[in-house]
A and B are shown apart, each in its own frame.
Chain A
Amino acid sequence: MLNRGRFGAYGGAYVPEILVPALEELDAAFIDAQDDPGFRVELDTLLRKYAGRPTPLTRCRNLGTGRACIYLKREDLLHGGAHKTNQVLGQALLARRMGKTRLIAETGAGQHGVATALAGALFGLRTCIYMGAHDVERQKLNVFRMRLMGAEVVPVESGQRGLKDAINEALRDWTASFADTHYLLGTVAGPHPFPTIVRDFQRVIGEEARAQILDEEGRLPDAVIACVGGGSNAMGIFADFAPDAEVKLIGVEPAGKGLDGDQHGATLLRGRPGILHGAETYVLQDADGQISESWSVSAGLDYPAVGPEHAHLRDSGRAEYVGATDAEALAAFQALAAGEGIICAFESAHALAHALKLAEAATDNPVLVVNLSGRGDKDMEQAQRLLELP
Chain B
Amino acid sequence: MSRYATMFDRLSGEGAFGAFIMLGDPDLARSAAILDALVEGGADMIEVGIPFSDPVADGPVIQAAATRALAKGVTPADCFDLIAGFRARHPNVPVGILTYANLVVARGRDAFYARAAAAGADSVLVADVPLLEAEPFASSARLHGLDPVLIAAANTPPERLAAIARRGGGYTYCVARAGVTGADRAAEFDHADMLDALLTNNAPPPVFGFGISRPEHVRAALAAGAAGVICGSAIVDLLAKHADPLPALRAFIAAMKEATRIREAA
Contacts and interface: CB of A to CB of B under 8 A. Distances in A.
Given A16-B130, A289-B103, A290-B70, A159 B54 contact: yes
B102 A289 contact: yes
A21 B154 CA distance: 11
B53 interface: yes
A17 B156 contact: yes
B128 A14 contact: yes
A13 B132 contact: yes
B118 interface: no
10 contacts: A13-B132, A13-B133, A17-B131, A18-B151, A21-B156, A158-B67, A171-B56, A175-B178, A289-B107, A290-B70
Which of A283, A288, A290: most chain B Cβ within 10 A? A288
Given A158-B63, A274-B105, A164 B180 contact: no
Q: Which range holds the interface residue count of chain B?
A: 35 or more
Which of A159, A168, A178, A290: most chain B Cβ within 10 A? A290
Contact of B175 (A18, A177, A275): A18
Contacts of A285: 102, 106
B139 interface: no
Interface string B57-69: 1010001000100
A359 to B, nearest CB: 39
Contacts of A19: 130
Nearest to B164: A17
B57 to A, nearest CB: 5
A20 B107 contact: no
B56 A283 contact: no
A1 interface: yes
Given A172-B59, A288-B75, A290-B70, A17 B107 contact: no
A245 interface: no
Given A176-B179, A275-B105, A291-B102, A12 B54 contact: no
B130 A291 contact: no
Contacts of A1: 132
A172 B178 contact: no
A275 B129 CA distance: 10
B57 A16 contact: yes
Contacts of A288: 75-77, 103, 106-107
A20 B133 CA distance: 11
Nearest to B185: A176
A15 B105 CA distance: 15
Contacts of B179: 172, 175-176
Interface of A: 1-2, 12-21, 158-159, 164, 168, 171-172, 175-179, 273-278, 280, 283, 285, 287-291
B157 interface: yes
Nearest to A274: B102
Given A18-B155, A21-B157, A176 B178 contact: yes
Which of B77, B153, B156, B175: most chain A Cβ within 10 A? B153
A320 to B, nearest CB: 26
B57 A175 contact: yes
B101 interface: yes
Given A14-B129, A17-B156, A289-B105, 15 more contacts: A17-B151, A18-B151, A18-B178, A159-B54, A168-B54, A175-B180, A283-B102, A287-B106, A288-B75, A288-B77, A288-B103, A289-B52, A289-B104, A290-B53, A291-B53
B105 A20 contact: no
A178 B153 CA distance: 14
Contacts of B54: 159, 164, 168, 276-277, 291
